Amino acid sequence: MKLILWLLALFAAAVAVTLAAKNTTGRALIEMPPYQWELPLDQFIIGAVVAFFIFYILVRFILGIFGFSQRHRHKKTDEMLLSGLKAYLEGDYVKSQKNTAVALKLADSSTAKAISAVIAARSAQMLDEAAARDQYINTALAEAPDEKSLCLAAKTEFLLKNENHQEALDILQSLYSEGGLQSTAVLQLELEAQQQAGNWDAVLELIDILAKRQSVNKTLIKKLKHDAQIKNIRSKATDLQSLNQYWQHISPLDKMDSKLSAAAARAYISLGDCNMANKIIESSVPFSWDNELIELYSECLDYHVSRQIECAEVWLRVQPNNAQLLLTLGKLCTYCELWGKAQNYLEASLSVQPGQKAHFALAQLNEKLGKHELAMDHYNKGLQLTLKQLN
């Protein structure tokens, strides 16, 4: 349709020029040393118009050729990139690397170059071709500096797979130095790097930042925070001041978590602070009835054991058939040389749930009472239960 309109316009222009030329007199002199032409003015006008249209058509034709080449290039780039991405998702990493490498060479835009390079690098990573992987990333960094964040994020991920967390953190720091809001993916990479480095305070700070973003899995974030808190407590089990500061910083709601309380109690026990360990246990047990916490209650014993027995006996009224609680009371009474009560609690524990720990506790009690045959019998029963569990 456009061609027909152009032809009609050309025809109308030719008619108009012809009609105008009939009433035009005079001559035109064209001089191009050493040549010289003299033409009637009407012929000159018609010739100039025809030359203009020929020139215009030639320009359009040449631009069309270049435009076709450019469109073909863009189409080929898209085809190779999409084909490479599809192959990557299907696990065909050889084809993925090959096609995205072609797309990387053909691409004009920074975004297309960066995406092609990252997919090619990931494919090379899966094929254990480290040199090719690094070359793709370096090419993208050189040719698509606007997409530096995407390329460096991929490079950081490769470093973390090799557990090279320090170099990964250095790269991330270079990204942060440029300012701006960092993507969720970049923050998650730093989270992994800090986890590998064992920097649990930094891990928890990152988790708090990620928790405010809509694009993250809230359940996963909650689990990551829980695990990081436990590991952070364990990392501070060598310094009482640091442990105190961190435990005070934890919210009352988090302190109600039995696993977190157990980790804190163990840390205080390792530092010899039985008073604090027992306070943590006493605060948590009535809400959780966690057997690990109840067992820890007999792990750190000092001059407060009598009060511990009283506290545990209060718990027993609520949980009369709790085998672990009966075992803990038996150990506490043994420490206070309350032999009769100790034996009753230990035997009651075995009647509820036979366990090697209760047998070993009774064996030690009978040894102290000089009942060596009974002690040996409980040692054997405890050993049999241990071997049964191993099998």
Closest C-alpha among 221, 226, 227 to residue 208 = 221
At residue 24, what is the residue type? T
> What is the pLDDT averaged over residues 149-174?
93
- The pLDDT value given to residue 177: 83
| Each residue's pLDDT tens digit, 277-333 | 999 999 999 999 999 999 999 998 877 899 999 999 999 999 999 999 999 999 999
CA 40 to chain centre: 82
Q: Give the whole-angstrom CA distance, residue 260 versus residue 269.
A: 14
pLDDT over 50 at 84, yes or no:
yes
Residues 202-218 have a mean pLDDT of 92
| Residues 81 and 89 sit within 8 Å (Cβ to Cβ) | no
More confident residue, 107 or 311: 311
Q: What phi, psi does 38 have (nearest 5°)? A: -125, 120
Q: What is the mean pLDDT of residues 103-125?
A: 92
Task: Identify any residues that bridge with 37 across adjacent strands, giving them in sequence order.
Answer: 30
**What is residue 259's predicted lDDT score, i.e. its pLDDT?**
96
Residue 21 CA: distances (Å) to CA of 93, 335, 347: 71, 127, 128
Please give the pLDDT value at position 310: 95
**Residue 29: strand pairing partners:** 38
The whole model's pTM is what?
0.74
CA angle 316/321/324 to nearest 5° reads 75
CA-wise closest residue to 278 among 261, 260, 290, 291: 261
Q: Taking 50 as the threshold, does the pLDDT of residue 377 lie above it? A: yes
% of residues, the chain, pLDDT over 90: 69
Placement of tokens 């709601």 in the chain = 253
> What value does the mean pLDDT of the chain take?
87
Q: What is the DSSP letter of 183?
A: P
Rounded CA separation 95/339 (Å): 76
Residue 327: per-residue pLDDT = 97
Distance CA 222, CA 226 (A): 6
pLDDT of residue 4: 57
If DSSP codes are grouped into helix, strand and coil, which group holds residue 39?
A: strand
Whether 22 shows a pLDDT value over 60: the answer reads no
Neighbours of 218 (CB within 10 A): 11
Query: Could you tell me the pLDDT band of residue 216, with boundaries at 50, 70 and 90?
Result: confident
Predicted confidence at residue 94, as pLDDT, reads 95
Q: 288 Cβ partners below 8 Å, 6+ apart? A: 256, 258, 261
Residues 197-217: what's their mean pLDDT? 92
* Amino acid letter, 264: A
Q: What percent of the chain is modeled with pLDDT above 70? A: 82
180 three-state secondary structure: coil
Mean pLDDT across the stretch 218-239? 95
Q: What angle do CA 237, 243, 246 make, to 5 degrees?
A: 135
Give the pLDDT score at 67. 43
> What values do phi and psi take at 237, rounded to 5?
-75, 5
Helical residues (DSSP H) of the chain, grouped into ranges: 2-22, 41-90, 93-106, 110-126, 130-143, 148-161, 165-176, 184-197, 200-211, 218-235, 240-249, 252-255, 258-270, 274-288, 291-296, 305-318, 323-335, 339-352, 356-368, 372-390
pLDDT reported for residue 71: 72
CB-CB neighbours of 135 under 10 Å: 16
Q: Given a cut of 80, is residue 226 above it in pLDDT?
A: yes
CA dist., res. 343 & res. 374, Å (int):
12
Average pLDDT for 367-375: 92
Question: Token digits for 58?
Answer: 């030639």
Res 129: pLDDT: 95
The confidence score (pLDDT) of residue 68 equals 44
Closest to 329 measured CA to CA, from 285, 384, 379, 284: 285
pLDDT in tens, 24-83: 556 656 666 766 666 665 666 666 666 666 655 665 555 444 444 567 778 888 899 999
